[in-house]
Structure 1
Amino acid sequence: MTRDEAVVGCTGELLIGTRGAEGPGEVLVRIRGGSETFLAWSDEPLPEGATVLVVDSRGTRQVDVISWADPLEPPAG
């Protein structure tokens, strides 16, 4: 199980929502000059389309994510 430290700290979009303890979703992360998908685990369920921050690598293309709102973007609405 090789950890992918390059992905930690990157943001991405959930292609498939996470289910918390029930199972992972899938996240698309812009990294290494392109985009890659990873299984995404979170403590609480997160919906498809949510922007997330990768906080840890589990290795084997699996990451831990949290919900993320870019503090530099103006609020929606």
Structure 2
Amino acid sequence: MMPDEAVLGCAGELVLGTRGAAGPGEVLVRVRGGTETFLAWSDDPLPRGTAVLVVASRGGRQVDVIRWADPLDALAGDAGDAG
């Protein structure tokens, strides 16, 4: 299976929580101008709704993810404080 390099570094949201070493979850990833679902693997269990970043592709629509907070979200929150 060939890795899908287009998905590396893309943000997504877990639609089914991961179970760490016990098994994958499912992630909805913003990629190629739309959204696609992939099986999502993580080192530690992550709950549904967690924002994640794709750090590796295993091929066959499987990816490794980590918890991720968009730094631009913090800037948007700070904009409301100005003034």
3-state DSSP of counterpart to 1:3: coil
Matched residue count: 75
User: How far off its partner does 1:2 sit?
Assistant: 1.0
Cα displacement string for residues 33-74 of structure 1 (whole angstroms, at most 9, x for unaligned residues): 111000000000000000000000000000000000111212
User: Paired residue for 1:46?
Assistant: 46
Q: Which has the higher helix share?
A: 2
**What are the ranges of 5 or more consecutive residues in structure 1 without an aligned counterpart?**
none
Question: How far apart are the structure 2 equivalents of 1:50 and 1:68?
Answer: 8
Corresponding residue for 1:15? 15
Off by >3 Å, runs of 4+ in structure 1: none
Stretches of structure 2 lacking an aligned partner (at least 5 in a row) = 78-83
TM-score (norm 1): 0.94
1:68 is aligned to 2:72: no
- How far apart, in 1, do the equivalents of 2:10 and 2:30 lie? 7
SS at 2:73 equivalent = coil
Between structure 1 and structure 2, the one with the greater Rg is 2
Q: TM-score, normalised by structure 2?
A: 0.87
The one-letter code sitting in structure 1 at the alignment partner of 2:51 is: T
CA distance in 2, matches of 1:32, 1:73: 22
| Secondary structure of 1:38 counterpart | strand
Across the aligned residues of Structure 1 and Structure 2, the Cα RMSD in angstroms comes to 0.9
In the aligned structure 1, how far is the partner of 2:66 from the partner of 2:24? Answer: 12
What amino acid maps onto 1:11 in structure 2?
Answer: A
